[in-house]
Amino acid sequence: MCPRCARIVLVNIVYLLAHLFFALQKLLRLSRRLLPLLLVVLNEWRFNPRVCDRHHRAKWGLKSVNIYVRHGSIAAVVGTVGSGMSSVAPRNSEKEKAIEEWLPITSSRNAKWWYSAFHNVTAMVGAGVLGLPYALSELGWGPGIMVLILSWIITLYTLWQMVEMHEMVPGKRFDRYHELGQHAFGERLGLWIVVPQQLIVEIGVCIVYMVTGGKSLKKFHDTVCPDCKNIKVTYFIMIFASVHFVLSQLPNFNSISGVSLAAAVMSLSYSTIAWGASVDKGKQEGVEYGYKSHSPAGTIFNFFSALGDVAFAYAGHNVVLEIQATIPSTPEKPSKKPMWRGVLIAYIVVALCYFPVALVGFWAFGNSVEDNILISLQKPRWLIATANMMVVIHVIGSYQIYAMPVFDMAETVLVKKLHFPPGIVLRLIARSTYVAITMFLGMTFPFFGGLLGFFGGFAFAPTTYFLPCVMWLSLYKPRKYSLSWIANWICIVLGVLLMVLSPIGGLRQIILQAKTYKFYS
């Protein structure tokens, strides 16, 4: 494909996405206008459960006391004294409770601390770890090691902030990323700040993992049977997607814990194979560690693109609150303690995967390393085939981890806004549709990884590197120039730089690779 055609395709994709976005917006507006007046009123008024506890009912001799609060002021009080009459609010709250118990994020709260450990490993250690040696070759030894270490420290710090803020309001849990955003920035603004970025990350990662799973299956097939007939990647993506049509029907995070555990073990295994085989292969003859590009502009753009690759490797923050929501919590034993224990274990595993693969891979192959370290290794054949199958198993679990919050958002809109009855049929249709869409996009746009490097820079960096810091400053208001204030602002500045610079490199990468793009290849 020529560069001019590639640019036309890119413009058409962005144009189509914009039209889909506005069409969805209009559909939601129309559905709201068609709702009955009673539902509009109930959505506007909020029930305050703190005033309606047993103490107040006993004190006033009321069977039920319903106090509605709007904009902080009491608007109406309705009580029934032993009359057997039931009010709208209790019935409505019972319905809301039933819906919350059906939704995937809040339906099960009996997870153990080790669940959070392997869920976070599965979410964090993506197949992007195999591209870290290539990223290091574009960053160079000094800057590359510094970026890896800083990213590990900053993301661990922002992850700790999110774990702490999960239950910062006594008696309330922020089970979803956008709920914390709404608490920090306001109901409407918080939704618009968090949800678009979170959806870009989660849907984008799912599409990338569709492509990664299909390509890894093809590599496994070609390695095991090099003389067999060539099969298109498209068919392998369809095979990979068929697994998710089944697994996506599992209701919540706890139900996919076995899949997530297997994925976490596989991520540590293929990472170990990658750096262990590199050590065994040794330093290659004539290896060079300088920048591959011969022009200053090319070096700078490659540097920016590598920053985006590192940011992609630390995308687990988008599901951390949803994972913590599955852990039981009481005032005596808050969920943050077991969650933080699991996060620490997960980050130790992350360090064991990321640093050896990046450093040893770059040491062995220098700037000639491929964007997937397994391609550079090639032999022994059986070991590379095993590693590729491990990648397939891992991205199966990772896809499910990132898809679950999207399922929760979609089912929330369908049940609460559009008033579809919750059940197996709704879940089957909604989730199968999502899997089919990500499969279709993965097959249609083989350059989606590069496209994600461009668009994802706007979402990966904020949700992981500095949005938790902005929320922390807004909610806790640390003293100016204190250690907490300085640390948060350093993270914000570095995160904003990453958000601005990485899409520049991603855009150039799309343009340069446009000539080799083939649809349904």
369 — phi, psi (to 5°)? -65, 140
Report the 3 state secondary structure along 98-131: HHHHHCCCCCCCCCCHHHHHHHHHHHHCCHHHHH
- Residues 292, 302 contacting (CB under 8 angstroms): yes
Q: How many contiguous H segments (helices) and E segments (strands) does the chain have? A: 21, 3
Query: What H or E segment, with its residue span, contains residue 23?
Result: helix 3-34
Tokens coding 341: 């224990």
Q: What are the beta bridge partners of residue 68?
A: 47, 76
Q: Counting Cβ atoms within 10 Å, is residue 126 exposed (0-12), middle (13-18) or buried (19+)?
A: buried
CA distances from residue 295 to 231, 255, 300, 302, 450 in whole angstroms, order as listed: 38, 52, 9, 11, 21
CA distances from residue 340 to 52, 269, 316, 346 in whole angstroms, order as listed: 34, 24, 14, 10
Beta-sheet strand order (sheet of 46-47):
46-47, 64-70, 73-80
Tokens coding 390: 């491990």
What CA–CA distance (Å, rounded) separates 282 from 363?
Answer: 9
pLDDT for position 77: 32
- Residues 66, 77 contacting (CB under 8 angstroms): yes
- Residues 357, 133 contacting (CB under 8 angstroms): yes
Closest CA to 369 of 134, 132, 129: 134
What CA–CA distance (Å, rounded) separates 284 from 215?
Answer: 26
The per-residue DSSP string of 302-361 comes to HHHHHHHHHHHHT-GGGGHHHHHTTS---SSS-THHHHHHHHHHHHHHHHHHHHHHHHHH
Query: What H or E segment, with its residue span, contains residue 209?
Result: helix 187-224
Query: What H or E segment, with its residue span, contains residue 80?
Result: strand 73-80
What CA–CA distance (Å, rounded) separates 260 from 255?
Answer: 10
For the entire predicted model, the pTM comes to: 0.79
What CA–CA distance (Å, rounded) separates 163 from 461?
Answer: 18
Tokens coding 365: 């192959």
pLDDT in tens, the chain (521 residues): 555 554 554 445 545 455 545 554 554 454 445 444 433 433 443 334 433 444 434 433 333 333 333 333 333 333 333 333 334 445 567 778 888 888 888 888 888 888 889 899 988 887 678 888 988 998 999 999 999 999 999 999 999 999 999 999 988 899 999 999 999 999 999 999 999 989 988 998 899 889 889 988 998 998 888 888 888 889 999 999 999 999 999 998 889 989 999 999 999 999 999 999 889 888 888 788 888 877 888 888 888 888 888 887 887 788 999 999 999 998 888 999 999 999 999 999 999 999 999 999 999 998 888 877 888 887 778 888 998 899 999 999 999 999 999 999 999 999 989 989 888 999 999 999 999 999 999 888 766 666 666 666 777 888 889 899 999 999 999 999 999 999 999 999 999 998 888 888 777 777 776 666 666 66
Sign of CA dihedral 514, 518, 519, 520: negative
What single DSSP character describes residue 52?
S
Q: Which amino acid is at 282?
A: G
Tokens coding 327: 């852990």
